[in-house]
Structure 1
Amino acid sequence: MFDLSIFSETQTWVSLLTLTFMEIVLGIDNIIFISIIVNRLDPAQQKRGRTIGLVLALVIRILLLMSISWIVGLKAPLFHIDVPWADHDFGVTGRDIILLIGGLFLIAKSTTEIHTKLQGEEETEAGGKLYSSMGRIIIQIVLIDIVFSFDSILTAVGLVDNVLIMILAVVLSMGVMLAFSGVVADFVNRNPTIKMLALSFLIMIGVMLVMEAFHKEIEKGYIYFAMFFSLVVEVLNMRLRKKADPVRLRDSQFD
Structure 2
Amino acid sequence: MLDLVTQPAAWISLATLSALEIVLGLDNIVFLSILAGRLPKDQQPKARRLGLGFALATRLALLFAITWVMGLTRELFAVVGHGFSGRDLILLGGGLFLIGKATFEIHDKLEVQHVAEAPAPKGGAAFWFVIAQIGLLDVVFSLDSVITAVGMAQHIAIMVVAMVLAVGVMLVFAGPIGEYVERHPTMKMLALSFLILIGVTLVAEGLGKHIEKGYIYFAMAFSLGVELLNVRVRRARNAPVALHHRFESPEAGADARGAPSDPSAAK
Q: Does the alignment reach a TM-score above 0.5?
A: yes
User: Amino acid of the residue matched to residue 229 of structure 2?
Assistant: L
Describe how 1:157-176 pairs up with structure 2 within 5 A.
Answer: 157-176=150-169
Distance in structure 2 (CA, Å) of the matches to 1:100 and 1:210: 5
- Give the Å deviation of 1:128: 7.2
Q: Please give the alpha-carbon distance, in whole angstroms, between the structure 1 residues aligned to 2:228 and 2:39.
A: 27
Q: Deviations over 1:54-100 (max 9, x none)?
A: 0000000000111111111100001222x2xxxxx211100011001
Residue matched to 2:33: 35
**Residue of structure 2 equivalent to 1:151:** 144
**Matched residue of 1:120: which SS?**
helix
Matches within 5 A, 1:101-140: 101-121=93-113, 129-131=119-121, 133-140=126-133
For 2:178 and 2:35, how far apart are their aligned partners in 1?
A: 10
Q: How many residues align?
A: 237
Q: What does the per-residue CA deviation read over 1:111-140, in whole Å, with 9 as the maximum and x for residues that have no partner? A: 11111111235999xx87231611101110
Q: CA offsets, 1:178-213, max 9 Å, x none? A: 011111111111111111001001101100101111
Which residue of the partner structure matches residue 246 of structure 2? none
2:208 aligned counterpart, secondary structure = coil
Quick check: 1:70 aligned with 2:64?
no
- Relative distance call for 1:193 and 1:150 in structure 2 (3 A) is same
**Higher helix proportion:** 2
Match of 1:95 among 81, 87, 98: 87
Classify 1:169/1:230 alpha carbon distance in 2 versus 1 (closer, same or farther; 3 Å): same
CA contact (8 A) 1:122 1:129 kept: no
Q: CA deviation at 1:238?
A: 1.2
**3-state SS of 2:211 partner:** coil
Q: 1:122 to 1:71 in 2, by over 3 A?
A: farther
SS at match of 1:79: strand
- Contact 1:122–1:130 (CA under 8 A) maintained in structure 2: no
Match of 1:7 in 2: 5
Q: Which letter maps to 1:180? A: F
> Displacement, 1:243?
1.9
Considering only CA atoms, is the larger Rg found in Structure 1 or Structure 2?
2
Q: Take 2:91 and 2:131, find their aligned partners in 1: how far apart are those partners?
A: 20
Matches within 5 A, 1:36-51: 36-51=34-49
Amino acid at match of 1:105: F
Residue in 2 that maps onto 1:234: 227
User: Residue 38 of structure 2 aligns to a residue in which SS?
Assistant: coil
Correspondence for 2:254: none
Shift of 1:244: 2.8
Point out where structure 1 has 5 or more consecutive residues left out of the alignment.
Answer: 84-88, 249-255
In structure 1, distance between residues paired with 2:108 and 2:133 = 17
For structure 2, list consecutive stretches of 5 or more residues without a partner in the other structure.
242-267
Q: Would the aligned equivalents of 1:50 and 1:181 in 2 still touch at CA under 8 Å?
A: yes
Once superposed, which parts of structure 1, at least 4 consecutive aligned residues long, lie more than 6 Å away?
Answer: none
Given the two structures, how large is their TM-score scaled by the length of structure 1? 0.88
RMSD: 2.0
Using a 3 Å threshold, how does the CA distance of structure 1 residues 121 and 139 change in structure 2: closer, same or farther? farther
**d(CA) in 2 for partners of 1:231 and 1:43?**
25
Whole-angstrom CA distance in 2 between matches of 1:116 and 1:22: 33
Cα 1:78–1:102, aligned 2, differ >3 Å: closer, same or farther?
same
